Amino acid sequence: MNNLENYTEKTFDDIKHIDEYGNEYWLARELMIVLEYSKWNNFVGVIEKSKIVCKRSNNKTFNHFADASKMVEIGSGAKRKLPDYKLSRYACYLIVQNSDPNKEVVALGQTYFAIQTRKQEITEEEYANLSEDDKRLYRRKQTKDGNKLLYKIAKDKGVKNFDKFTNAGYKGLYGGETADDIAKRKGLRYREEILDNMGSEELGANVFRITQTEALLRKQAQKSETIASNTHYIVGKEIRETIKRIGGTMPEELPTPEKSLKEISKERKELEYE
């Protein structure tokens, strides 16, 4: 790739991961390829410069540059450590800021990571101080990002019937209810998005369902829609059992908010232009 037209924000979205807590991250070796670095030794120099900037900005580097090294086979049963990092959006921003400015993709990366860095990364304290509507909006963004990645991986694992795949996860989490069942129980209109009509607690359970399924599908060796759908169901059911075990409220028993997130977003947008 040598033309900026070959790149879009999707370029960076495609290599984004979501962990079991709903937090986004990028792997350094995948980012290295997108930024057109052919050698790790060259790219790790950029990482080290970025870590220094991070530290000088009074940020804890291990919160943004987490070790993700793994052992890989190199033949004859021998293994060696392959260094890698789990990068926060802020870490990625610092990396593109310190990358080769002659690379056209670096310009796009600087824009992509700069715009959303502060918006996407909030602390637990900041989240706790959000209003319920803002918590819902935050969790909804996590489900959208998580589902993009989940469906991409599910497709790679052989899933073609995505309604069946999606319903498998809902059935596990909601005690047998499908997406249509949930929509009817909530009194939603035809084709109205059920995730837009969940409170922050219910959305949180679904974020966990999505991220854990994505993590397990990555380990799935066989390309099978049945296996992938079963995995989605099992994850949903395990989360349900956990909620029950700790004395939490079953997701289908949680109240449906009076306003959907689409209504809230529309109202806020209208206020901006008044």
Which of 70, 89, 121 delimits the end of a domain? 121
The verdict on 91 and 148 lying in the same domain is no
Instruction: Give the type of residue at 271.
Output: L
Closest CA to 214 of 141, 151, 160, 170: 151
**Lowest pLDDT segment from 15-29, 95-109, 164-178:** 95-109
Q: Is residue 126 part of a domain?
A: no
- The DSSP symbol for 188 reads P
Number of domains in the chain: 2
- Give residue 22's domain range: 4-121
> What is the structure's pLDDT at 6?
47
pTM: 0.59
Summarised one tens digit per residue, pLDDT across range 26-60 is: 999 999 999 999 999 999 999 999 999 888 877 88
Q: Is residue 86 part of a domain?
A: yes
Average pLDDT for 238-256: 94
Burial class (CB in 10 A: 0-12, 13-18, 19+), 120: middle
Average pLDDT for 143-170: 94
Q: Is residue 139 part of a domain?
A: yes
The verdict on 183 and 106 lying in the same domain is no
> What is the structure's pLDDT at 234?
96
Alpha carbons 168 and 244: distance in angstroms, whole number: 19
The verdict on 193 and 251 lying in the same domain is yes
Average pLDDT for 190-208: 94
Other residues' Cβ atoms within 10 Å of the Cβ of residue 151: 16
Average pLDDT for 247-264: 95
> What is the structure's pLDDT at 4?
37
Alpha carbons 88 and 116: distance in angstroms, whole number: 12
Mean pLDDT of the chain: 86
User: Which position has the higher pLDDT, 86 or 115?
Assistant: 86
> What is the structure's pLDDT at 140?
92
Alpha carbons 168 and 174: distance in angstroms, whole number: 10
Closest CA to 251 of 186, 163, 165, 162: 186
